[in-house]
Amino acid sequence: MTLALAMGFFMPELPEVETVRRGLQEFTCERSITAVDVLLPRTIAHPESPQDFVAGLQGAKISQWERRGKYLLATCQNSRGKHRGWLGVHLRMTGQLLWLQEPQPVSSHTRVRLLLGKERELRFVDQRTFGKMWWMGAGEDPNLVMSGMGKLGPEPFGPEFSLAYFVDRLHRSRRQIKAALLDQMVVAGIGNIYADEALFMSGIRPTTVTVDLKERQIKALRSAVIEVLQCSIEAGGTTFSNYLNVQGTNGNYMGQAFVYGRQGQDCRKCGGAIVKIKAAGRGTHYCPNCQK
């Protein structure tokens, strides 16, 4: 049986990575890594030697999985229950973590295999090879070692993502609001899908310049960001191509989407046509009637 903790052919965003984290927490915690096989050395971002990556992980027990933005971080212990270090993962575009409960043929896109005893395996599969893994010893700081993680803005569900913070950050620049939402240093975890959805829910056109937003608009946008991310997590994320949740089923948020991927279709609110433009260098969906 294969339980897929997977990403499709789009950059996973917070809800998809959170779905993966929950599956990893359920199936891999309190299990010891009995063997490690690195099939593509460049997947390992740290340490420099893949052999050191193997040596660090082998014999370690996974005690907890956390998510920071789009990064996954496992805390590991030694056989005596003492902190040993961290395993970090970034799935990037096509990375998949597959939880295997019985032996399976090794596909050509398999990059790293973690064996967890009794023929169970956590397999990292990555077709486009952009995904990365890190091993950091107990004396290292993941925020310094994992490129980009230490620069992330606040989590959308955390107290740091306050209205005062959001107003201050958005009023510092004159860029389009779509670009600001995609900036991981402003708020962690939002990508193209949920930026479009949150802007629709708050009635803001994606090309609006951030400094021109009123505080009431920013308040509505902050609430919409939190709401759309929560809704998508509850739906298991958004499926494109081969994304599956831990039960091997598709994420269901796409069926609820207001604008993303719906160009030419009727707006669920006003009945007008959803359009697609280029904003912040990305394909962007919005309703000209509902978003001013």
In sequence order, the β-bridge partners of residue 223 are none
Residue 156 in tokens: 């959308």
Could you give the CA distance from residue 29 to residue 66 in angstroms, rounded to a whole number? 12
- DSSP-derived pairing of the beta strands 132-137 and 44-46: parallel
Indicate the DSSP class of residue 151. G
Any catalytic annotation for residue 282?
Answer: yes
Residue 215 in tokens: 């505080």
Any catalytic annotation for residue 92?
Answer: no
Q: Out of 61, 67, 68, 70, which one is annotated catalytic?
A: 70
Q: Which residues contact 155 (CB under 8 A, 6 or more apart)?
A: 68, 69, 161, 187, 188, 189
Q: Out of 13, 16, 18, 121, which one is annotated catalytic?
A: 13
Q: Out of 92, 219, 282, 288, which one is annotated catalytic?
A: 282
Any catalytic annotation for residue 12?
Answer: yes
Radius of gyration of the chain (CA): 20
Any catalytic annotation for residue 154?
Answer: no
CA 258 vs CA 16, 51, 61, 188, 255: distances in Å: 18, 48, 42, 22, 9
CA 190 vs CA 48, 100, 215, 274: distances in Å: 30, 29, 21, 21
Q: What one-letter code names the amino acid at 205?
A: R
- Taking a C-beta distance cutoff of 8 angstroms, is the pair 189, 229 a contact? yes
Q: Out of 12, 15, 142, 156, which one is annotated catalytic?
A: 12
- Taking a C-beta distance cutoff of 8 angstroms, is the pair 242, 235 a contact? no
Q: Following DSSP, what letter does each residue of 101-124 receive, concatenated?
A: SS--PPPTTEEEEEE-STT-EEEE
Q: Which residues carry out catalysis?
A: 12-13, 70, 282
